[in-house]
Amino acid sequence: MPDNATIGELLARQGISRRALLKYATYLASIMALPPAASVAMADALAKSHRQSVIWLSFQECTGCTESLTRSFSPNLEDIIFNLISLDYHETLQAASGEAAEAARLSAMKANKGKYVVVVDGSVSTLDGGIYSTNAGKTNLQVLKETAEDALAIISVGTCAAFGGIPHARPNPTGAVAVSDIITNKPIINISGCPPIPEAIAGTIAYLVTLGKIPELDHLGRPKSFFGESIHDRCYRRPFYDKGLFAKSFDDEGARNGWCLYEVGCKGPVTYNACATVKWNGGVSFPIQSGHGCLGCSEPNFWDKGGFYKPLPASTGENGTIVAGALVAGAAVGAASAALSRSRKNAAKEKQP
Amino acid sequence: MTLLDFARGPALSFAYAVFVFGVAWRLVSLLLLPRNKELSQAKPGAPSVFSAAVLGFVRHLWPQKAYLRGTLFATLNGYVFHLGLAIIVFGLAQHILVFQSLFGINWPNLPSSLISVAAVVTLASLVVALVRRLTSPVLRLISTGNDYIAWFVTTLPVITGLLAVSHLGAPYETLLAIHILSIALLLIVFPFGKLMHAFLVFLTRTGTGIFYARRGAEI
Ligand code: SF4
């Protein structure tokens, strides 16, 4: 969709006023904890800039991340994010298919060499040369390397792209890895979550387009503005945790009273994401508010952490056999040492005149 | 694998195994040790072995009057941190979850604020016990590395636990991991040092009770 119009002109053409853009920029700036003045600058920059060329690659994924973005808070504002970017390639959303689709990717890469952003959702299969996930005759691995080559930056959307996610879970039959395991020479922003919060995707893209730089990232490469605090630190059930009031099952008195879900396996204390503040479906609710503990879906290996309903302090190992073995071994060594001292004693007795 | 994954997984499994192995080893070897035959005649009117054992244990719960002056403080302080530890270990919801995951049983938890108070008091009491050990000339002389290790591995989980519940100093996942690792250390050291008294106290005090009751000696 080559179009030289600025974002402002494009929005005006669609009847989206500067006021709506400002509202959107204010919203994004506030959820990204930017200073209030930034929203005006952001709106102005947005209006003046050209749309960012984005190539969206879908690998081993469930399309939940795209669903999350397209089911963004309000239809009007959701449109805006698609006006900020020129989505030059997206298997699910583009009209083109087959050869034409591949041609669109290649031409966008050529036209915006060094300037396009690659968004990846899904993990990359590496086993046996990556043959377990292919598209248009190429493995995901090939397409990723080829597309990342001249990219400005990469945004790994969703836990699969960011950390390997569910395909990476044991026993990982396809040798799935994160994008950052393959591409090491480009800036990578991880927007983890299964799926990620749409505002986190939109906000990060908007930040990149307007300010032209990578937002501040945490040690796992996630924007601090969305992943800087744990769910637990911002959870409205926290006062119950602090008092020691816990739901023991999903239908007990504690659950009905809205007490803390730690005992039924909530991973909020070790999960960093904005669910407790930005929430879902336009700020309606989030899992803990709906009565279920946090699964920890924005953290690496969340699928292999011993079970969603296993509380955090519980051991994740299968201790039964190992402990039984230790018991038998300990008792055997004890019996042997007692027998040894018994035989020593007898020998000493025999020696006595 | 994160530090927390390591702590909750391999570290805890290893610690449980070492603990069970060590305790089984020490208890079985002690109980099967050849015992000297009791050659003395029981004093007429001596209590039965069972009541002698119970009496011996109960009698030792409090020092004899003659020794009370010198030992009152140490005894009271000992009770404070032992009870404190019991309240923390068996009263905190997070700890009950560990027992539930191991043995499938649970019980109602105490309010977290009460546990925090108990933990602070316990910590203070443990510090007092160490200060006393270091300042009393006699105690210092008879203390070995074993005593200091026992103190260290007991106190460490109290400190790390307090930090974990108050989310102080580091992210919760790091604090929780460090706390679990400190418990793992306690479990690993437990059977091989002075901490084994938690089991052996029942053998020694009842044994002493039986021995002296048979001879009609007051203890
Ligand atoms: S429900 Fe989960 S996140 Fe909320 S306070 Fe309890 S443990 Fe923390």
CATH number listed for the domain at residues A231-351:
4.10.480.10
Tell me, what amino acid is at A297?
A: C
Alpha carbons A333 and A295: distance in angstroms, whole number: 43
Give the best residue of A319, A328, A344, A349 to mutate against chain B (max B CB count within 10 A): A319
Question: Which residues belong to CATH 3.40.50.700 in chain A?
Answer: 51-227
Residue pair A55/A108 in contact (Cβ under 8 Å)? The answer is yes
CA-based nearest residue in chain B for residue A346 = B34
Distances in Å between the alpha carbon of A292 and those of A241, A249, A285, A306, A331? Answer: 15, 10, 11, 17, 44
pTM of the model: 0.85
With the most atoms of ligand 1 within 8 angstroms of its CB, the residue from A237, A259, A264 to mutate is: A237
Counting every residue written for chain A, the total comes to: 353
* Rounded-to-integer distance, Cα A288 and Cα A128, Å: 40
* Calpha distance A21→A281 (Å, rounded): 20
Nearest to B32 by CA among A348, A343, A334, A329: A334
Give the nearest ligand 1 atom to A262 CA.
7
What CATH architecture applies to the domain A51-227? 3-Layer(aba) Sandwich (3.40)
3-state secondary structure chain A: CCCCCEHHHHHHHCCCCHHHHHHHHHHHHHHCCCCHHHHHHHHHHHHHCECEEEEEEECECCCHHHHHHHCCCCHHHHHHHHHHEEEEEECCCCCCCHHHHHHHHHHHHHHCCCCCEEEEECEEECHHHHCCCEECCEEHHHHHHHHHCCCCEEEEECHHHHHCHHHHCCCCCCCEECHHHHCCCCCEEEECCCCCCHHHHHHHHHHHHHHCCCCCECCCCCEHHHHCCECHHHCCCHHHHHHCCECCCCCCHHHHCCCECHHHCCCHHHCECCCCCCCECCCCECCCCCCCCCCCCCCCCHHHCCCCCCCCCCCCCCHHHHHHHHHHHHHHHHHHHHHHHHHHHHHHHHHCC
Question: Taking CB atoms and an 8 Å limit, are A242 and B112 in contact across chains?
Answer: yes
Model confidence pLDDT, tens digit, residues A210-221:
778 899 999 999
Q: Could you give the domains of chain B?
A: 3-15+49-62+69-214 (1.20.950.20)
User: Per residue of chain A (353 residues), what is the pLDDT tens digit?
Assistant: 446 788 888 888 888 788 887 887 887 777 777 787 878 887 887 788 778 888 999 999 999 998 888 776 554 455 666 777 888 888 777 877 888 888 889 998 999 999 999 999 999 999 999 999 998 899 999 999 999 999 999 999 999 999 999 999 999 999 999 999 999 999 999 999 999 998 888 888 888 877 788 999 999 999 999 999 999 999 999 999 999 999 999 999 999 999 999 999 999 999 999 999 999 988 899 999 999 999 999 999 999 998 999 999 888 888 889 999 999 999 999 999 999 988 888 888 787 76
Q: Are A157 and A119 in contact (CB under 8 A)?
A: yes
Cβ–Cβ below 8 Å for A342 and B18: no
> Which residues of chain A does CATH 4.10.480.10 include?
231-351
> What single-letter DSSP state applies at residue B39?
-
